[in-house]
Amino acid sequence: MNQTQNVADLSNRRRRLGASRETMAAGLGLAVDIVKAIEDGAASDDEHDRYSAWLGRIEAWPADVRARQFLVAGKGGRFEAEG
């Protein structure tokens, strides 16, 4: 699937996880406008691929780990790669 087809799916995946753009931005160490650009298809392929890969990692985390990671990110912390 190319980036254009996958762009709308990124925000849907994030929403299904229960994360705001602000949470994703903090957890990944990005500005919110970068996350918006990624989800809108205006970012580079590398940024898109990195964001998509992180969504995949987060989707694989058990619900309790995901909730803990989102709490940390909600306070400005970064996601841990291993959950």
* C-alpha distances out from residue 77 to 29, 34, 70, 81, Å: 8, 17, 9, 13
27 has a pLDDT exceeding 80: yes
Domain coordinates in residue numbering, the chain: 3-74
Q: Where residue 1 falls among pLDDT bands split at 50, 70, 90? A: very low
Take residue 63 and report the two structure tokens written for it. Answer: 């619900």
The pLDDT tens digits of the residues spanning 28-54 come to 999 999 999 999 999 999 999 999 999
**CA angle in degrees (0–180, nearest 5) for 8-37-10:** 30
